[in-house]
Amino acid sequence: MTRSKWTFAVVLIASLLLAALPGAAQDKTDIEVWIAFTDFRLDWAVDVANTFNEQYPQYNVTIQEYTDYEPLLEAYTLAQEQGNPPDVIQLFEVGTQFALDSGWFKPVSEIIGDREEVNGVPVNFDDIVPVVSGYYTIGGNWSSVPWNTSTPILYANTDLMAAAGVESIPATWQELEAACEQFQGMKDAGEISGCVTWPNHGWFFEQWLAQQNELLVNNGNGREGRPSEINLTSDAALNIVQFHKDMYEKGYYVYSGVQRDWTGTVQSFSTQQVPFIMTSSASAGGITNSAQENGFIDVQRL
């Protein structure tokens, strides 16, 4: 999602809040927002909230941060049970169906209705990247506003590539494996720990299945009906497992030993222990800044 789309999403959230609350009030109306980040994304959200508060002084938006989606969801569930939930929360994508099932949230399209603007802010669902819009459309209704939608991408240290004689950034599994073979000399010499790393996370498995036009669960990945079977033995699924196994056994893939290790994998790349990392596009800013701090700035993304 581009930065302009990000901004649109947050402005739309603000508009929804304005639409849902009294338009004229003597005292400030507090609006509590919970998000699942403590990094630069938190800073950005606070800046947007402050800007909103300046534009609409009758409201006071406050941001409460959490370290990840799971503790945020646990805290929100407890807050609902205690009768004091926040006004807005940021759920991960896979929480979309839970949000609808819980009855705690109202679909965005239901809130907006036929309006093309809310309090002077244009509303245009067609302005959202189609594949993102499609994800959040459930039963023909736009369920929520995408805020941190991302995709896995490959980051490459082109300085190390040049040192190993790798001329282009790999674009396929086969090209990555071939490039890793060229780095074996540097690994044997102790100059790097391996060729590539990525968090051991199911998100990559899901994405790689989709790239092979394969579903993870039946009933249209749950879009046509609640799934009753999971697809882990198809040729597409086994392709992923075999690729992962081959890369690890050849010493190309560096595993930190910790599942879902976003921080450790980025650290391996930032300290130039591996020339490639597959991780979220949301990490682009942090990876570039970290690369600069560690003395190399030639980072390319594919």
| pLDDT at 299 (0 to 100) | 61
CA 261 to chain centre: 14
The three state secondary structure string of 205-237 is: HHHHHHHCCCCCEHHHHCCCCCCCCECCCCHHH
Taking every pair of C-alpha atoms in the chain, what is the biggest distance, in angstroms? 71
Contact call for residues 45 and 53 (beta carbons, < 8 A): no
| pLDDT at 295 (0 to 100) | 78
Contact call for residues 177 and 244 (beta carbons, < 8 A): no
Contact call for residues 2 and 149 (beta carbons, < 8 A): no
Averaged in consecutive runs of 10 residues, what is the pLDDT profile of the chain (302 residues)? 36 47 66 93 95 94 95 96 95 87 91 87 86 87 86 92 95 96 96 97 93 94 91 96 96 94 93 95 86 73 60
| pLDDT at 102 (0 to 100) | 93
- Strand 152-157 relative to strand 299-301: parallel, antiparallel, unpaired? antiparallel
Establish whether domains 3-142 and 152-301 are of one fold: yes
- 23: which 2 tokens? 């338009």
| pLDDT at 26 (0 to 100) | 56
Q: Where are the domains of the chain?
A: 3-142, 152-301
pTM across the whole model:
0.80
3-142 — its CATH code? 3.40.190.10
**188-191, Cβ contacts within 8 angstroms, sequence gap of 24 or more:** none
- For residues 118 and 112, give the distance between their C-alpha atoms in angstroms, rounded to a whole number: 8
Contact call for residues 119 and 19 (beta carbons, < 8 A): yes
Choose among 93, 96, 112, 114: nearest CA to 104. Answer: 96
Choose among 118, 86, 87: nearest CA to 12. Answer: 118
The amino acid occupying position 294 is N
- For residues 255 and 176, give the distance between their C-alpha atoms in angstroms, rounded to a whole number: 16
The amino acid occupying position 37 is F
List strand residue ranges (DSSP E) for 112-259, in order. Answer: 117-118, 121-122, 137-138, 141-142, 152-157, 196-197
Measured CA to CA in angstroms, residue 178 lies from 102, 118, 169 at distances of 48, 53, 11
| pLDDT at 94 (0 to 100) | 83
Domain 152-301: give its CATH superfamily: Periplasmic binding protein-like II (3.40.190.10)
- For residues 220 and 275, give the distance between their C-alpha atoms in angstroms, rounded to a whole number: 37
- 291: which 2 tokens? 């690369």
Question: Could you tell me how many residues make up the chain?
Answer: 302
- For residues 92 and 279, give the distance between their C-alpha atoms in angstroms, rounded to a whole number: 16
- For residues 170 and 243, give the distance between their C-alpha atoms in angstroms, rounded to a whole number: 15
